[in-house]
Amino acid sequence: MTSWKHRVKTHFSARAAEWTAYYADPEPTLSREQLNARQQWALRMVTAAIPPFKRILDAGCGSGLIAARLIEDGYAVWGIDFAEPMIRQARQRCGPDQFAVGDIEHIPFPDNTFDLVVSLGVLEYLESDEQALREIRRVLRPGGQAVIAISNGRSPLLRLDRVAQRVVARLRPAYHLVRYRLRGRPAPQPAIPLGAVHRMPYGRFYRSRWLRVLRALSFEPEEWICYGWGWLESPLRHVVQFLSKQQTALCRSIEGLVGRPLVARASDKFVRSPALNWLAAEHIFRARAVK
């Protein structure tokens, strides 16, 4: 196991209980709202691609939240994650028999096992994409589908947040010197947010590059959307949280005027529009394995 992968494993193993509580918070943060939206879009892609009773692998299943939703919808679901505490929680939520510790770069299943593999926000924690995609294709049956979520490398919000993180990191020592050390008080340790271990370069996640990678590995892309404000870890998250709440309030007002179905259709057009959705923070691809 590489040092980077070990770091990711340690990070999520130590935060398994925190991760579950994060979803249960009655006042969701912007990041949790994005996670919920990601699950909803992914579920729509899955149900559009295959009927119930088909076999699905959740590669990087975490605590089993989306796996539980898929099981409720009638699918036969297996899950792997290389953070053992996450697997314990997935087993408690979904049952012990079909969830195990495993690595998406070395999936512990035979060739041609699954009708669909779903992997949300996993590949961006790896040092490269190709090995994981080869393994996903290997375990898919001919014509099987993959639903994969990654960051959007072109998102200006994600880039702006990265710049703000660097600025804050440079200013923090001077701020702590004035506020704490000169007053003889110990400086607090900065909190580590739930996505903080993610440091892969965003340039890896351009849509054009990903489409080339998928086709080179014998996947045929069939659906692509881009949505969301992003995982914001700097102080700018408070600004974007405010903007998101204003957007939500505006959408509800518009729904009251024109009806929810019309707003839903407009949202669907937005997430599928290459001319507009490059602003959003995350891609979800659905691709078919060509064998």
Taking only the tens of pLDDT, the chain with its 291 residues reads: 677 777 778 877 877 777 777 666 666 666 677 788 889 999 999 999 999 999 999 999 999 999 999 999 999 999 999 999 999 999 999 988 899 999 999 999 999 999 999 999 899 888 889 999 999 999 999 999 999 999 888 888 777 777 777 777 777 676 666 666 656 676 665 554 444 555 555 567 888 889 999 999 999 999 999 887 665 665 666 666 676 666 666 667 766 776 777 767 777 787 888 777 777 888 899 999 998
pLDDT at position 117:
98
d(CA 44, CA 228): 16
d(CA 55, CA 78): 8
pLDDT at position 194:
46
d(CA 195, CA 231): 7
Max alpha carbon distance in the chain (Å)? 67
pLDDT at position 250:
62
Beta-bridged to residue 225, according to DSSP, are 284
The full length of the chain comes to 291
pLDDT at position 256:
73
pLDDT at position 120:
94
Structure tokens at 205: 């996640």
Kindly report the backbone phi and psi dihedral angles of residue 101, in degrees, each rounded to the nearest multiple of 5, phi listed first: -65, 130
Q: How many CA atoms lie within 13 A of 151 on its CB side?
A: 24
pLDDT at position 176:
61
DSSP per-residue string spanning 212-268 = HHHHHTTEEEEEEEEE------STHHHHHHHHHHHHHHHHHHHHHHH-HHHHHHHHH
Q: If one looks up domain 3-154+194-231+278-289 in CATH, what number appears?
A: 3.40.50.150
Residue with tokens 């009655």: 26
pLDDT at position 17:
75
pTM of the model: 0.83
**What's the one-letter identity of residue 243?**
L
Residue with tokens 């959408």: 251
Structure tokens at 37: 């939206």
Domain ranges for the chain: 3-154+194-231+278-289
